[in-house]
Amino acid sequence: MSTRYLVTGGAGFIGSHLVRKLVTEGAAVRVVDNLSTGQLDRLKDLQESVEFIEGDLADDRVSDEVADGVECVFHQAAVPSVQRSVDDPIATNRANVTATLNLLESCRRAGVRRFIYAASSSAYGDTEVLPKTEAMSPNPLSPYALQKVVGERYCKLYFDLYRLETVSLRYFNVFGPSQDPYSEYSAVIPKFISALSAKKSITVYGDGEQSRDFTYVDNVVDANLLASKVDDAPGKVFNIGCGKRITLNNLIQLIERVLGVESTVIYAEAKSGDVRHSLADIALARRILGYSPKIMVEEGLRSTVEAMENRRS
Ligand SMILES: NC(=O)c1ccc[n+]([C@@H]2O[C@H](COP(=O)([O-])OP(=O)(O)OC[C@H]3O[C@@H](n4cnc5c(N)ncnc54)[C@H](O)[C@@H]3O)[C@@H](O)[C@H]2O)c1
């Protein structure tokens, strides 16, 4: 019988790409999502191949139900918004910490073999040193960042105490098709692409010289699959990025080139708590997981624009 996978948050941006890849590989996939930010539309052509359970993982009856009979879990479910966590630390703690602990406990009891956790580069905060390596101490600057670090620590503890094979992947600024450009909390790339396609101006907070290690979603999916298989991965935390950073001003130029348009940029006051530069050291993931980013920013932007145009038409 083939491995049975659970993808939590499978109706979300990253989760749905992971589900699609697993289904393509012929795996049996169960998805749980409470549809808070997720959209079932992302899975509509996969309905026949996926077992979908609508439920909230902060409810332990749901986590028990979905962990049953599963061999490997990809835990993507979260409320991935710094701003929302600042506005409502309690509700986001429930989604990001309580739900994670419930799921770890359900997995331990159900005898799940491996548990891959979607951690976040926000763990590093605004440390001056670049690139960020996993050996640096976390310095979370928002409830969201802290909640994601707590999730990692619980994962490590479940490996040390109970030998549940947990692996944490710290994603760096993920982008790609089906990322929601209209959400209040949306990442800059879908927001910029949709504004530029509609010939609207874009707003940049700060001088645009802040930089990020933007990571195309297929690279993140690859990293998850590797983390589910490699013997030496459990108990560890890995950076998952491209190992290259670009500034927002460069990013805008790239999007202009891909779309063949010119932009009007409005520079507004920098947001407090905004990290100035972010860059992943991916040496550990390369060495232990065999991870190597296959799609770099410009190619990823082309695929994202194409997908957004197809969706519109
Ligand atoms: N997008 C990024 O750049 C990025 C960077 C670092 C880490 N991450 C992490 O990756 C994961 C996926 O992020 P995304 O960008 O795809 O976000 P997303 O909002 O598109 O997906 C999250 C999914 O989880 C679901 N969900 C939320 N709370 C739930 C709960 N209590 N029970 C069941 N389902 C619940 C939502 O409905 C949604 O479908 C998150 O854990 C996030 O913290 C994302």
Q: Which residue has the least CA distance to atom 2 on ligand 1?
A: 174
Judge whether 213 and 242 are in contact, CB under 8 Å. yes
For residue 183, which atom of ligand 1 is closest to its CA?
A: 19
- Please give the distance, rounded to the nearest whole angstrom, from the Cα atom of residue 38 to the centre of ligand 1: 8
Ligand 1 lined by 151 (C-beta under 6 Å) = no
- Which residue did the predictor score with more confidence, 159 or 308? 159
- Please give the distance, rounded to the nearest whole angstrom, from the Cα atom of residue 273 to the centre of ligand 1: 21
Per-residue pLDDT at 151: 98
- pLDDT 10s digits, 140-182: 999 999 999 999 999 999 999 999 999 999 999 999 999 988 7
Ligand 1 lined by 217 (C-beta under 6 Å) = no
Judge whether 125 and 170 are in contact, CB under 8 Å. no
Mutate to test the pocket of ligand 1, among 36, 93, 167, 217 (most ligand atoms within 8 A of CB): 36
Residue 152, in any domain of the structure: yes
Q: How many CB atoms lie within 10 A of CB 267?
A: 12
Nearest to 311 by CA among 179, 200, 174: 179
- pLDDT 10s digits, 113-132: 999 999 999 999 988 899 99
- DSSP state for residue 227 in the 8-state scheme: H
- Please give the distance, rounded to the nearest whole angstrom, from the Cα atom of residue 118 to the centre of ligand 1: 8
Q: What's the total number of domains in the chain? A: 1
- Please give the distance, rounded to the nearest whole angstrom, from the Cα atom of residue 80 to the centre of ligand 1: 5
Ligand 1 lined by 123 (C-beta under 6 Å) = no
Judge whether 127 and 136 are in contact, CB under 8 Å. yes
- pLDDT 10s digits, 172-192: 999 999 998 877 666 899 999
Residue 207, in any domain of the structure: no
Q: What is the CATH number of the domain that holds 288?
A: 3.40.50.720
Residue 89, in any domain of the structure: yes
DSSP assignment of 107-158 equals HHHHT--EEEEEEEGGGGTT-S-SSB-TTSPP---SHHHHHHHHHHHHHHHH
Q: Indicate whether 274 pLDDT > 80.
A: no
Q: pLDDT-based confidence at 2, cuts 50/70/90?
A: low
**Distance (Å) of CA 255 to CA 6, 89, 199, 262, 312:** 35, 34, 12, 9, 18
Per-residue pLDDT at 183: 74
**Distance (Å) of CA 121 to CA 63, 130, 154, 223:** 26, 13, 17, 15
Ligand 1 lined by 36 (C-beta under 6 Å) = yes
Residue 196, in any domain of the structure: no
Per-residue pLDDT at 59: 98
Q: Indicate whether 1 pLDDT > 80.
A: no
Q: Indicate whether 74 pLDDT > 70.
A: yes
Judge whether 118 and 169 are in contact, CB under 8 Å. yes
Per-residue pLDDT at 185: 66
Residue 285, in any domain of the structure: yes
Cα angle 178-78-219, degrees, rounded to a multiple of 5: 50
Residue 307, in any domain of the structure: no
Instruction: Note down the domain range covering 169.
Output: 4-174+216-242+279-294
Ligand 1 lined by 95 (C-beta under 6 Å) = yes
Instruction: Count Cα neighbours of 147 within 13 Å in the Cβ-side half-sphere.
Output: 26
- Please give the distance, rounded to the nearest whole angstrom, from the Cα atom of residue 15 to the centre of ligand 1: 7
Residue 206, in any domain of the structure: no
Ligand 1 lined by 43 (C-beta under 6 Å) = no
- Which residue did the predictor score with more confidence, 65 or 82? 65
